[in-house]
Protein backbone atom coordinates (compact mmCIF):
# COMPACT_ATOMS: atom_id res chain seq x y z
CA UNK A 1 0.00 0.00 0.00
CA UNK A 2 1.08 3.57 -0.52
CA UNK A 3 1.24 5.98 2.42
CA UNK A 4 2.84 9.33 3.19
CA UNK A 5 5.52 9.38 5.87
CA UNK A 6 8.37 11.61 7.11
CA UNK A 7 11.71 10.43 5.69
CA UNK A 8 15.12 11.51 6.96
CA UNK A 9 17.45 11.35 3.95
CA UNK A 10 20.63 12.51 5.66
CA UNK A 11 21.74 13.74 9.09
CA UNK A 12 21.05 17.39 9.90
CA UNK A 13 18.54 17.76 7.10
CA UNK A 14 14.84 18.36 7.61
CA UNK A 15 12.42 15.47 7.16
CA UNK A 16 10.55 15.27 3.88
CA UNK A 17 6.99 13.94 3.83
CA UNK A 18 7.02 11.53 0.91
CA UNK A 19 4.96 8.79 -0.73
CA UNK A 20 6.22 5.45 0.60
CA UNK A 21 5.28 1.91 -0.43
CA UNK A 22 4.68 -0.42 2.54
CA UNK A 23 4.88 -4.13 1.74
CA UNK A 24 2.60 -6.71 3.44
CA UNK A 25 3.80 -8.66 6.50
CA UNK A 26 5.88 -11.80 5.85
CA UNK A 27 6.53 -14.85 8.04
CA UNK A 28 6.31 -13.89 11.74
CA UNK A 29 5.55 -10.22 11.01
CA UNK A 30 2.55 -7.96 11.59
CA UNK A 31 1.33 -4.75 9.97
CA UNK A 32 0.41 -2.01 12.47
CA UNK A 33 -1.60 1.16 11.89
CA UNK A 34 -0.03 3.69 14.25
CA UNK A 35 -2.29 5.73 16.52
CA UNK A 36 0.35 7.78 18.30
CA UNK A 37 4.13 8.08 18.56
CA UNK A 38 6.24 9.76 21.20
CA UNK A 39 9.02 12.04 19.99
CA UNK A 40 12.07 10.67 21.75
CA UNK A 41 15.42 12.38 22.30
CA UNK A 42 17.24 9.41 20.82
CA UNK A 43 15.54 10.16 17.48
CA UNK A 44 16.69 13.77 17.67
CA UNK A 45 20.23 12.59 18.44
CA UNK A 46 20.04 10.21 15.49
CA UNK A 47 18.77 12.97 13.16
CA UNK A 48 21.66 15.18 14.29
CA UNK A 49 24.16 12.49 13.33
CA UNK A 50 25.32 11.70 16.87
CA UNK A 51 25.50 8.03 15.96
CA UNK A 52 27.12 7.54 12.54
CA UNK A 53 26.00 3.90 12.42
CA UNK A 54 22.34 4.87 11.92
CA UNK A 55 21.56 4.05 8.25
CA UNK A 56 19.76 6.47 5.92
CA UNK A 57 17.30 7.11 4.36
CA UNK A 58 15.28 6.19 7.42
CA UNK A 59 11.93 6.71 9.11
CA UNK A 60 12.52 7.59 12.77
CA UNK A 61 10.38 6.98 15.85
CA UNK A 62 11.01 4.45 18.62
CA UNK A 63 7.86 4.52 20.74
CA UNK A 64 4.34 4.06 19.49
CA UNK A 65 1.05 2.31 19.87
CA UNK A 66 -1.52 1.30 17.30
CA UNK A 67 -3.78 -1.40 15.95
CA UNK A 68 -2.91 -4.62 14.11
CA UNK A 69 -4.19 -4.47 10.53
CA UNK A 70 -2.85 -7.73 9.14
CA UNK A 71 -0.73 -10.63 10.36
CA UNK A 72 1.77 -12.61 8.29
CA UNK A 73 2.07 -16.42 8.10
CA UNK A 74 2.96 -18.17 11.37
CA UNK A 75 1.66 -15.41 13.68
CA UNK A 76 -0.55 -17.11 16.26
CA UNK A 77 -0.88 -14.68 19.16
CA UNK A 78 -2.07 -11.51 17.41
CA UNK A 79 -4.97 -10.76 15.10
CA UNK A 80 -6.35 -7.82 13.14
CA UNK A 81 -7.98 -5.30 15.48
CA UNK A 82 -5.70 -5.93 18.49
CA UNK A 83 -4.33 -2.79 20.15
CA UNK A 84 -0.55 -3.04 20.59
CA UNK A 85 2.37 -1.19 22.13
CA UNK A 86 5.50 -1.33 20.00
CA UNK A 87 8.80 -2.53 21.43
CA UNK A 88 12.02 -1.45 19.70
CA UNK A 89 13.81 -4.56 20.86
CA UNK A 90 13.37 -7.63 18.67
CA UNK A 91 14.52 -10.70 20.61
CA UNK A 92 14.69 -14.29 19.39
CA UNK A 93 13.27 -15.90 22.54
CA UNK A 94 15.71 -18.82 22.19
CA UNK A 95 19.28 -17.65 22.78
CA UNK A 96 21.02 -17.93 26.16
CA UNK A 97 20.16 -14.35 27.17
CA UNK A 98 16.52 -14.63 26.15
CA UNK A 99 16.35 -17.91 28.06
CA UNK A 100 17.60 -16.30 31.29
CA UNK A 101 15.06 -13.47 31.03
CA UNK A 102 17.40 -10.79 29.68
CA UNK A 103 16.09 -10.25 26.15
CA UNK A 104 17.82 -6.85 25.86
CA UNK A 105 21.03 -8.87 25.54
CA UNK A 106 19.64 -11.12 22.76
CA UNK A 107 22.39 -12.16 20.35
CA UNK A 108 20.08 -12.86 17.40
CA UNK A 109 19.04 -9.36 16.37
CA UNK A 110 17.98 -8.35 12.87
CA UNK A 111 20.47 -6.11 11.05
CA UNK A 112 20.32 -2.43 12.12
CA UNK A 113 17.22 -0.65 10.83
CA UNK A 114 15.91 -3.83 9.20
CA UNK A 115 13.55 -6.73 9.73
CA UNK A 116 14.66 -10.34 10.35
CA UNK A 117 15.16 -11.17 6.67
CA UNK A 118 17.48 -8.16 6.26
CA UNK A 119 14.89 -6.26 4.23
CA UNK A 120 12.73 -3.35 5.40
CA UNK A 121 9.01 -2.81 4.81
CA UNK A 122 9.43 0.64 3.19
CA UNK A 123 10.35 1.62 -0.37
CA UNK A 124 10.67 5.10 -1.81
CA UNK A 125 10.60 4.28 -5.51
CA UNK A 126 13.38 1.67 -5.81
CA UNK A 127 15.19 2.87 -2.68
CA UNK A 128 15.06 0.90 0.55
CA UNK A 129 14.07 3.08 3.52
CA UNK A 130 15.30 1.86 6.93
CA UNK A 131 13.17 1.45 10.08
CA UNK A 132 14.63 3.21 13.12
CA UNK A 133 14.50 0.95 16.17
CA UNK A 134 12.68 -1.56 13.96
CA UNK A 135 9.38 0.19 14.78
CA UNK A 136 9.77 3.46 12.78
CA UNK A 137 6.86 4.88 14.73
CA UNK A 138 6.75 8.22 12.87
CA UNK A 139 5.19 6.26 9.99
CA UNK A 140 1.39 5.87 10.01
CA UNK A 141 1.84 2.19 9.02
CA UNK A 142 4.74 -0.17 9.74
CA UNK A 143 5.55 -3.88 9.52
CA UNK A 144 7.35 -5.25 12.61
CA UNK A 145 8.37 -8.70 13.92
CA UNK A 146 5.53 -10.13 16.01
CA UNK A 147 7.54 -9.95 19.24
CA UNK A 148 7.78 -6.17 18.77
CA UNK A 149 3.99 -5.77 18.98
CA UNK A 150 2.80 -6.33 22.54
CA UNK A 151 -0.95 -6.69 22.95
CA UNK A 152 -2.57 -3.96 25.01
CA UNK A 153 -5.57 -4.38 27.28
CA UNK A 154 -8.74 -3.10 25.63
CA UNK A 155 -9.88 0.31 26.82
CA UNK A 156 -6.45 1.88 27.33
CA UNK A 157 -5.78 5.12 25.43
CA UNK A 158 -3.36 4.42 22.57
CA UNK A 159 -1.92 7.93 22.96
CA UNK A 160 -0.91 7.24 26.57
CA UNK A 161 0.18 3.69 25.71
CA UNK A 162 2.51 5.00 22.99
CA UNK A 163 4.95 6.26 25.65
CA UNK A 164 5.18 2.92 27.44
CA UNK A 165 7.24 1.46 24.58
CA UNK A 166 10.34 3.61 25.16
CA UNK A 167 10.48 6.47 27.65
CA UNK A 168 8.31 4.92 30.37
CA UNK A 169 9.93 1.48 30.03
CA UNK A 170 13.46 2.87 29.90
CA UNK A 171 13.03 5.28 32.83
CA UNK A 172 10.92 3.21 35.23
CA UNK A 173 12.83 0.05 34.25
CA UNK A 174 16.24 1.60 35.03
CA UNK A 175 15.11 2.08 38.64
CA UNK A 176 12.85 -0.92 39.16
CA UNK A 177 14.46 -3.61 36.97
CA UNK A 178 18.12 -2.67 36.55
CA UNK A 179 19.00 -0.92 39.83
CA UNK A 180 16.22 -2.53 41.94
CA UNK A 181 16.16 0.49 44.24
CA UNK A 182 14.77 -0.57 47.66
CA UNK A 183 12.27 1.50 49.68
CA UNK A 184 13.96 4.28 51.64
CA UNK A 185 17.12 4.37 49.50
CA UNK A 186 18.08 7.79 48.21
CA UNK A 187 17.91 8.34 44.46
CA UNK A 188 18.99 11.23 42.24
CA UNK A 189 17.91 11.43 38.60
CA UNK A 190 20.15 13.48 36.31
CA UNK A 191 18.26 14.78 33.26
CA UNK A 192 14.48 15.05 33.46
CA UNK A 193 13.43 14.57 29.86
CA UNK A 194 11.06 11.80 28.77
CA UNK A 195 13.24 9.04 30.24
CA UNK A 196 14.39 10.91 33.36
CA UNK A 197 10.86 11.92 34.40
CA UNK A 198 9.96 8.26 34.23
CA UNK A 199 13.01 7.36 36.31
CA UNK A 200 11.61 9.82 38.88
CA UNK A 201 8.32 7.94 38.67
CA UNK A 202 10.17 4.64 39.11
CA UNK A 203 11.71 6.14 42.25
CA UNK A 204 8.30 7.23 43.54
CA UNK A 205 6.82 3.77 42.84
CA UNK A 206 9.78 2.19 44.71
CA UNK A 207 9.43 4.64 47.65
CA UNK A 208 12.94 6.00 47.14
CA UNK A 209 13.64 8.83 49.58
CA UNK A 210 14.90 11.47 49.22
CA UNK A 211 14.15 11.55 45.51
CA UNK A 212 16.22 14.29 43.88
CA UNK A 213 15.64 15.62 40.35
CA UNK A 214 18.49 17.40 38.53
CA UNK A 215 18.08 19.31 35.27
CA UNK A 216 18.87 22.64 33.61
CA UNK A 217 15.24 23.49 32.76
CA UNK A 218 12.92 24.80 35.48
CA UNK A 219 9.84 23.47 33.66
CA UNK A 220 11.18 19.90 33.77
CA UNK A 221 12.11 20.24 37.43
CA UNK A 222 8.56 21.37 38.16
CA UNK A 223 7.13 18.36 36.33
CA UNK A 224 9.58 16.11 38.22
CA UNK A 225 8.31 17.50 41.51
CA UNK A 226 4.70 16.88 40.46
CA UNK A 227 5.69 13.24 39.78
CA UNK A 228 7.14 12.69 43.25
CA UNK A 229 10.60 14.29 43.41
CA UNK A 230 11.25 15.60 46.92
CA UNK A 231 14.07 17.96 45.89
CA UNK A 232 14.96 19.72 42.66
CA UNK A 233 18.44 20.94 41.76
CA UNK A 234 19.46 23.17 38.88
CA UNK A 235 22.58 21.61 37.35
CA UNK A 236 24.26 24.84 36.25
CA UNK A 237 23.13 27.22 39.03
CA UNK A 238 24.04 24.91 41.93
CA UNK A 239 26.97 22.75 43.00
CA UNK A 240 25.00 19.54 42.59
CA UNK A 241 27.34 16.99 44.29
CA UNK A 242 27.70 19.31 47.32
CA UNK A 243 23.95 19.94 47.55
CA UNK A 244 23.26 16.21 47.28
CA UNK A 245 25.67 15.49 50.15
CA UNK A 246 23.87 18.15 52.21
CA UNK A 247 20.49 16.57 51.49
CA UNK A 248 21.49 12.94 52.00
CA UNK A 249 24.30 13.19 54.55
CA UNK A 250 26.73 10.84 52.77
CA UNK A 251 25.90 11.15 49.10
CA UNK A 252 23.18 9.39 47.19
CA UNK A 253 22.61 5.60 47.18
CA UNK A 254 21.52 5.50 43.52
CA UNK A 255 22.08 7.96 40.69
CA UNK A 256 20.40 7.50 37.30
CA UNK A 257 21.90 9.41 34.37
CA UNK A 258 19.03 9.84 31.92
CA UNK A 259 20.72 12.27 29.56
CA UNK A 260 23.38 11.56 26.94
CA UNK A 261 25.92 13.91 28.49
CA UNK A 262 29.20 12.88 30.10
CA UNK A 263 29.21 16.01 32.34
CA UNK A 264 25.94 14.83 33.90
CA UNK A 265 27.45 11.36 34.33
CA UNK A 266 30.47 12.91 36.06
CA UNK A 267 28.22 14.94 38.39
CA UNK A 268 26.25 11.79 39.16
CA UNK A 269 29.42 9.86 39.95
CA UNK A 270 30.65 12.68 42.21
CA UNK A 271 27.29 12.68 44.04
CA UNK A 272 27.39 9.00 45.02
CA UNK A 273 27.79 7.98 48.61
CA UNK A 274 29.78 4.94 49.81
CA UNK A 275 28.31 1.76 48.34
CA UNK A 276 26.38 3.85 45.83
CA UNK A 277 25.37 2.75 42.35
CA UNK A 278 25.48 4.95 39.26
CA UNK A 279 23.21 3.77 36.43
CA UNK A 280 24.02 5.12 32.95
CA UNK A 281 20.97 5.22 30.67
CA UNK A 282 21.55 8.15 28.29
CA UNK A 283 23.95 7.52 25.42
CA UNK A 284 26.29 10.42 24.54
CA UNK A 285 27.41 11.08 20.98
CA UNK A 286 29.90 8.56 19.57
CA UNK A 287 33.44 9.10 20.89
CA UNK A 288 32.59 10.76 24.21
CA UNK A 289 34.17 8.95 27.17
CA UNK A 290 33.89 8.97 30.94
CA UNK A 291 37.02 9.17 33.09
CA UNK A 292 36.81 7.44 36.45
CA UNK A 293 39.60 7.39 39.01
CA UNK A 294 39.66 3.78 40.28
CA UNK A 295 40.27 5.15 43.80
CA UNK A 296 36.71 6.56 43.73
CA UNK A 297 35.45 3.10 42.79
CA UNK A 298 37.40 0.64 44.95
CA UNK A 299 37.45 1.67 48.62
CA UNK A 300 33.93 3.16 48.62
CA UNK A 301 32.71 0.01 46.77
CA UNK A 302 30.79 2.07 44.27
CA UNK A 303 29.20 0.47 41.24
CA UNK A 304 28.88 1.86 37.72
CA UNK A 305 26.31 -0.02 35.65
CA UNK A 306 24.46 0.38 32.36
CA UNK A 307 20.75 0.03 31.76
CA UNK A 308 19.47 -0.71 28.26
CA UNK A 309 15.74 -0.26 27.64
CA UNK A 310 15.19 -0.49 31.40
CA UNK A 311 16.26 -4.18 31.28
CA UNK A 312 12.88 -4.70 29.62
CA UNK A 313 11.03 -7.96 29.28
CA UNK A 314 8.39 -6.26 27.13
CA UNK A 315 5.57 -8.77 27.43
CA UNK A 316 5.73 -8.78 31.22
CA UNK A 317 6.77 -5.18 31.79
CA UNK A 318 4.38 -3.43 29.37
CA UNK A 319 1.45 -5.19 31.04
CA UNK A 320 2.75 -4.25 34.49
CA UNK A 321 3.28 -0.61 33.47
CA UNK A 322 -0.19 -0.47 31.89
CA UNK A 323 -1.71 -1.75 35.14
CA UNK A 324 0.23 0.83 37.16
CA UNK A 325 -1.10 3.51 34.79
CA UNK A 326 -4.68 2.25 35.08
CA UNK A 327 -4.29 2.14 38.86
CA UNK A 328 -3.15 5.76 38.99
CA UNK A 329 0.35 4.89 40.26
CA UNK A 330 2.09 5.77 36.99
CA UNK A 331 1.32 9.13 35.39
CA UNK A 332 1.46 9.27 31.62
CA UNK A 333 -1.18 11.82 30.54
CA UNK A 334 0.62 14.44 32.67
CA UNK A 335 3.83 13.83 30.70
CA UNK A 336 2.29 14.83 27.39
CA UNK A 337 2.93 18.55 27.00
CA UNK A 338 1.86 18.84 23.40
CA UNK A 339 0.55 16.78 20.49
CA UNK A 340 1.54 17.21 16.82
CA UNK A 341 0.41 16.12 13.38
CA UNK A 342 2.84 13.84 11.56
CA UNK A 343 3.69 16.73 9.21
CA UNK A 344 4.94 18.77 12.21
CA UNK A 345 7.79 16.43 13.10
CA UNK A 346 10.41 19.17 12.58
CA UNK A 347 8.50 21.48 14.94
CA UNK A 348 8.31 18.67 17.50
CA UNK A 349 12.10 18.25 17.26
CA UNK A 350 12.64 22.01 17.69
CA UNK A 351 10.47 22.06 20.84
CA UNK A 352 12.30 18.99 22.16
CA UNK A 353 15.72 20.56 21.55
CA UNK A 354 14.58 23.79 23.26
CA UNK A 355 13.68 21.84 26.41
CA UNK A 356 10.14 23.24 26.36
CA UNK A 357 8.46 19.82 26.57
CA UNK A 358 8.06 16.96 29.01
CA UNK A 359 6.93 14.84 26.08
CA UNK A 360 5.68 15.66 22.61
CA UNK A 361 3.47 13.09 20.91
CA UNK A 362 2.53 12.73 17.25
CA UNK A 363 -1.12 11.72 16.97
CA UNK A 364 -2.07 10.18 13.62
Summarize as ranges the residues that interact with Zn ion (CB under 5 A).
40, 42, 62, 91-92, 95, 98, 106, 108, 166
Nearest residue (CB) to Zn ion, 138 versus 325: 138
Question: How far apart are CB 200 and Zn ion at their closest, in Å?
Answer: 17
* C-beta of 93 vs 249, nearer to Zn ion: 93
Collapse the DSSP code of 58 into the 3-class scheme (helix H, G, I; strand E, B; otherwise coil) and give the result: strand
User: Please, what is the minimum distance in Å from the beta carbon of residue 171 to Zn ion?
Assistant: 10
Contact by Cβ (8 Å): 105, 116? no
Q: What are phi and psi of 344, to 5 degrees?
A: -95, 25
Residues contacting 134, CB < 8 A, separation 6+: 88, 89, 90, 110, 113, 114, 115, 144, 145, 148
Min dist. Cβ of residue 236 to Zn ion (A) = 25
**CB nearer Zn ion, residue 90 or residue 203:** 90
E strands along 103-194, which residues? 122-124, 127-131, 141-145, 149-151, 187-190
Distance CA 218, CA 210 (A): 19
Please identify, using beta-carbon distances, which residue of 98 and 265 lies nearer to Zn ion.
98
Shortest distance, position 107 Cβ to Zn ion, whole Å: 6
Q: For residues 92 and 297, which CB has a smaller minimum distance to Zn ion in the complex? A: 92
Q: Contact, 70 vs 30, CB < 8 A?
A: yes
Shortest separation between residue 223's beta carbon and Zn ion, angstroms: 18
Give the C-alpha separation, 186 to 251, whole Å.
Answer: 9
Amino acid sequence: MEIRAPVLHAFNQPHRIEPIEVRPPRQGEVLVRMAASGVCHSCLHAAEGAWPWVPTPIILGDEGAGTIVEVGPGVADLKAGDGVILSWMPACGRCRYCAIGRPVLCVNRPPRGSLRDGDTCFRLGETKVYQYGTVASFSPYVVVPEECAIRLKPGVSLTAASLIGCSVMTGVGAVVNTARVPPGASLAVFGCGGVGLNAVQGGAISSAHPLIAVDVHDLKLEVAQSLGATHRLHATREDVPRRIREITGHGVDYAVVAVGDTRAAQQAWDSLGPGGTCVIVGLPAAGHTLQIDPATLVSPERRLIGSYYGSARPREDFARLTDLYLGGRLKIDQLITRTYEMEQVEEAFRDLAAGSLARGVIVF
